[in-house]
């Protein structure tokens, strides 16, 4: 029986070596975390989301692929370098909800790539995000564990802030990924690559 919808998003995937470095950081945070029930991202789930599409009817996937292909085929979309580093949290260290690692490098090219995808998919009825694009790699999500436990977790994360570089990557493609929610974390499946 065919699924009624596909949960998907457009992202930049990371090289395996960079994912492994970030996984080592997660392992260190897990040990320091001492069971605060942070939902840590699995190795295959570390990526830089450019546009979350949500639940999409399967018959719409071909037009999404065609639209993104056209958008990324423009001459101004070229390969660029990013640096991965600096551990951070949303919204702040006193009450962390999302633990992430930031990206730096050619942010102008990254923003141009994200805007091209956003604009193209808006033409298919996917509304633009309400918030400005804030490029980051999510490492973990913090459940409601109470103010005091969140504050202690914030202090642990602060101890890791000295680690400011985890490597770099050459971005020469975006990917359309499917995300299936499971009890032990999302399962990701590559649907399409878009080289540029």
Query: 């890791």: which residue's tokens?
Result: 160
DSSP structural state of residue 127? P
Closest CA to 19 of 139, 179, 128, 178: 139
Q: Determine the Cα–Cα distance for residues 24 and 46; give it in Å rounded to an integer.
A: 13
Give me the DSSP letters along 17-76. Answer: HHHHHHHHHHHHHHHHH-S---EEPPGGG-EEEEEEEEEE-GGGHHHHHHHHHHHHTSTT
Phi, psi of 175 (to 5 degrees): -135, 150
Judge whether 47 counts as a catalytic residue: yes
As a residue count, the chain comes to 196
How far from the centroid of its chain's Cα atoms is residue 42's Cα?
12
Tokens of 9: 């998003």
Q: Write down the catalytic residue from 136, 150, 175, 177.
A: 136
Q: Which of 19, 47, 51, 86 is catalytic?
A: 47
Residue 136: active-site member: yes
Residue numbers annotated as active site: 47, 136
């Amino acid at each position: 029986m065919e699924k009624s919808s596909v949960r998907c998003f457009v992202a930049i995937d990371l090289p395996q070596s960079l994912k492994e470095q970030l996984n080592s950081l997660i392992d260190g945070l897990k040990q320091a975390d001492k069971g605060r029930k942070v939902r840590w991202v699995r190795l295959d789930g570390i990526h830089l989301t450019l546009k979350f599409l949500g639940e999409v009817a399967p018959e719409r996937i071909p037009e999404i692929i065609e639209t993104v292909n056209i958008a990324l085929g423009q001459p101004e979309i070229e390969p660029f370098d990013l640096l991965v580093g600096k551990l951070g949290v949303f919204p702040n260290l006193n009450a962390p909800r999302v633990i992430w690692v930031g990206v730096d490098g050619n942010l102008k090219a990254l923003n141009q790539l994200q805007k091209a995808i956003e604009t193209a998919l808006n033409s298919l009825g996917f509304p633009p995000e309400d918030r400005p694009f804030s490029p980051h790699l999510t490492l973990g999500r913090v459940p409601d564990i109470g103010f005091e436990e969140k504050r202690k977790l914030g202090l642990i994360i602060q101890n890791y802030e000295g680690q400011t570089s985890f490597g770099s990557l050459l971005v020469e493609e975006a990917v359309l990924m499917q995300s299936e929610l499971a009890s032990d974390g999302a399962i990701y499946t590559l649907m399409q690559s878009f080289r540029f």
